[in-house]
């Protein structure tokens, strides 16, 4: 499967010390996850373009921006200009499959990687039509909207099924999982086939985020 990547989610960090918080985890991280929520697509408002710009100034790591927003196609160019390296859009925010493909193409046409996400209630089959057009697939293991939620184990069969499909069809994209992942429950997610792990409170709400990020990487080595 190759190298497994760690993507700390800044949703759980101290925003008054954003650059310092990123520095704490940078040595052991591959991506920085930015969760953008609009209070419409999900029942919470989080952060937007200025924070992406601030993250970009604070790190050379890959900035992985998840758009949990309605009508994401209106904002792609702005998030690219702000410094996103990957932009993830949700299947549930699209009118239909045709639009989903158009938005993924729009992201790639802007020179960044395109990711496609599905929420826990959404079956994997909704992602299958776009698998040839993405750089990253995201399986949500919580219902999006708030940080610090518990991991939903029903995500595991979905991850396994997608990993098998990737191997069978020869797809080469990141398989990212986001939601409720901590050191004490990451191993089943890795066994299922994830190769990008997003963790917010599981890193930033621990006593020593640097040490926690390091421990995640030590666990990853057993599955690489």
Helix axes 209-221, 18-26, angle to 10 degrees: 30
Please pick, among 30, 38, 178, 195, the residue that the annotation labels catalytic. Answer: 178
Residue 178 bears catalytic tag = yes
CB neighbour burial string for 192-208, b if at least 16 within 10 angstroms, e if fewer: bbbbbbbbbbbbbebee
Phi, psi (rounded to 5 degrees) for 104: -60, -40
Residue 34: closest CA among 87, 100, 76, 75: 87
Residue 64 bears catalytic tag = no
Burial of 138 from C-beta contacts in 10 A (0-12 / 13-18 / 19+): buried
Please pick, among 30, 35, 38, 135, the residue that the annotation labels catalytic. Answer: 35
Phi, psi (rounded to 5 degrees) for 45: -115, 130
Catalytic residues: 35, 178
């Amino acid at each position: 499967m190759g190298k497994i990547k760690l993507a700390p989610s800044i949703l759980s960090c101290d925003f008054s010390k954003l650059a310092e918080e990123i520095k704490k985890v940078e040595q052991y991280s591959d991506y920085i996850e930015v969760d953008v929520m609009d209070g419409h697509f999900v029942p919470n408002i989080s952060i937007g373009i200025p924070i992406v710009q601030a993250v970009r100034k604070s790190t050379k790591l890959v900035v992985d921006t998840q758009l949990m927003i309605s009508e994401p196609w209106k904002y792609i160019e702005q998030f690219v200009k702000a410094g996103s390296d990957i932009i993830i859009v949700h299947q549930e925010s699209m009118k239909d499959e045709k639009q989903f493909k158009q938005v993924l193409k729009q992201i790639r046409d802007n020179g960044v990687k395109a990711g496609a996400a599905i929420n826990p209630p959404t079956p994997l089959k909704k992602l299958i039509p776009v698998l040839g057009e993405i750089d990253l697939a995201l399986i949500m293991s919580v219902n999006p909207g708030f940080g610090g939620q518990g991991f939903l184990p029903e995500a595991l069969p979905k991850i396994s099924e997608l990993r098998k499909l990737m191997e069978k069809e020869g797809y080469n994209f990141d398989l990212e999982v986001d939601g409720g992942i901590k050191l004490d429950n990451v191993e089943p997610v890795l066994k299922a086939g994830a190769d990008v792990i997003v963790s917010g409170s599981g890193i930033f709400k621990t006593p020593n985020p640097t040490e926690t990020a390091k421990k995640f990487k030590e666990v990853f080595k057993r599955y690489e």
